[in-house]
């Protein structure tokens, strides 16, 4: 699956909640990376600050700038969300705002490293919480490297107004950097306008819709017992299917010229 990035426009709901719900419900071996330069929230929220000592992308960035040791240090900075299986791993985000200055220059380095994890032994996909793009130093290199980018949005008019502008911003950037078409999709959250109506208005396909489930969202934000049967968790788990199908179609499209072979020399 490689890199699946989630991002939102200003004022849109729940990127971190959505990314965490996917990480806890998908069947793939994955790393959830908090790459929001405004700061991570899973350590203090869902995990309740239960870890000893600093850990996460900020520590990795400082070490990389000092020693260039990302490959060797990466695995020691992860948190096992389903211990001891090491199938759902968390790379916590920035907790000290001062760390953002170390992380931002390394977005391309992290993008390249995340992409290589798919070919590791064992392989890992990477679900990346990119937060909101209306911040200083957004992780554009990770979005450009992603196999799928999910733009998380509410479906009410105030949400869609900001999302429309963000769609155009991302599309312009992707065209400029020659990101393959079909990478960007909408992921709607909660009630509001219908998926078909939103897709037509924003000229972008809607991959799925997650239900309004405040009880589960509170657990994912503040900690507690996650119940797999809750509406949000069921919908997040089901999202794995269309995302996987989108990736397979994209891979087949990109591999098609190679499958035709090279004509024999005359």
- Residue 262 in this model has a pLDDT that exceeds 60: no
Residue 92 is assigned to a structural domain of this protein: yes
Q: What pLDDT shows up at residue 54?
A: 81
Host domain of residue 15: 3-246
Is 253 part of any domain?
A: no
As given in the structure block, the two tokens for residue 95 are: 């907790």
The domain total for the chain is 1
Please indicate, yes or no, if residue 227 is contained in any of the structural domains.
yes
Percent of the chain with pLDDT over 90: 75
Q: Is residue 70 part of a domain?
A: yes
More confident residue, 266 or 201: 201
For residue 258, pLDDT over 70 is answered with no
pLDDT at 238 over 80: yes
Residue 213 has a CB neighbour count (10 Å cut-off) of 21
- Gap between the Cα atoms of 8 and 17, Å rounded: 12
Locate 129 and state its tokens: 């919480």
Instruction: Report d(CA 241, CA 23) in Å as an integer.
Output: 14
Task: Give start and end residues of each alpha helix (H) in 45-156.
Answer: 57-67, 70-73, 100-103, 107-116, 140-145
Is the separation of the CB atoms in 138 and 110 below 8 Å?
no
Strand order of the β-sheet with 88-91 is 79-80, 88-91, 30-34, 125-132, 3-8, 148-155, 184-192, 206-210
Give a yes or no: residue 265 inside a domain. Answer: no
Q: What is the mean pLDDT of the chain?
A: 91
Helix axes 15-25, 214-222, angle to 10 degrees: 90
In this predicted structure, what is the pLDDT of residue 9?
85
The rounded distance, in Å, linking the Cα atoms of 70 and 76 is: 10
The residue with greater pLDDT, 129 or 53, is 129
**Residue 135 confidence class, pLDDT cut points 50, 70, 90:** confident
Q: DSSP E strands: which ranges in the chain?
A: 3-8, 30-34, 79-80, 88-91, 125-132, 148-155, 184-192, 206-210
Residue 251 belongs to a domain: no
Q: Give mean pLDDT, residues 11-21.
A: 86
Domain at 148, CATH number? 3.40.50.300
Q: Supply the pTM of this predicted model.
A: 0.92
Q: Encoding tokens for residue 69?
A: 């040791």
* Phi (first) and psi of residue 250, to 5 degrees: -65, -45
Average pLDDT over residues 75-81: 95
Given this model, what pLDDT does residue 264 score? 44
The contacts of residue 154 (CB under 8 Å, 6+ apart) are 12, 13, 160, 188, 189, 190, 192
pLDDT of 249 reads 82
| Alpha-carbon gap, residue 51 to 55, rounded angstroms | 8
| Range in 49-58, 176-185, 257-266 the model is least confident about | 257-266
Residue 41 lies in a domain: yes
Token pair recorded at residue 214? 């405040």
Residue 264 lies in a domain: no
Over residues 102-117, mean pLDDT? 96
DSSP 8-state class, residue 110: H
């Amino acid at each position: 699956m490689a890199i699946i990035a989630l991002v939102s426009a200003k004022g849109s709901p729940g990127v971190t909640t959505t990314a965490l719900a996917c990480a806890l419900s998908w069947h793939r071996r994955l790393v959830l990376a908090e790459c929001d330069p405004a700061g991570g929230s899973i350590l203090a929220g869902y995990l309740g600050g239960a870890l000893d000592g600093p850990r996460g992308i900020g520590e990795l960035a400082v070490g990389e700038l000092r020693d260039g040791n990302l490959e060797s240090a990466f695995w020691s900075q992860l948190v096992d969300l389903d211990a001891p299986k090491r199938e759902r791993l968390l790379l916590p985000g920035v907790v000290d705002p001062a760390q953002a200055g170390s992380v931002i220059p390394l977005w391309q380095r992290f993008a390249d490293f995340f992409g290589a994890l798919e070919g590791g032994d064992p392989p890992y996909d990477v679900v990346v919480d990119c937060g909101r793009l209306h911040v200083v130093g957004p992780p554009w290199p990770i979005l450009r490297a992603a196999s799928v980018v999910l733009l998380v949005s509410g479906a009410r008019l105030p949400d869609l107004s900001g999302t429309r502008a963000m769609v155009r911003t991302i599309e312009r950037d992707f065209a400029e950097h020659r990101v393959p078409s079909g990478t960007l999709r909408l992921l709607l959250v909660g009630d509001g306008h219908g998926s078909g109506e939103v897709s037509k208005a924003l000229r972008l396909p809607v991959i799925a819709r997650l239900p309004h489930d405040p009880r589960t969202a509170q657990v994912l934000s503040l900690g507690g017992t996650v119940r797999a049967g809750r509406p949000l968790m069921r919908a997040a788990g089901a999202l794995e299917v269309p995302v996987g199908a989108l990736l397979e179609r994209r891979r087949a499209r990109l591999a098609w010229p190679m499958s035709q072979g090279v004509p024999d020399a005359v």
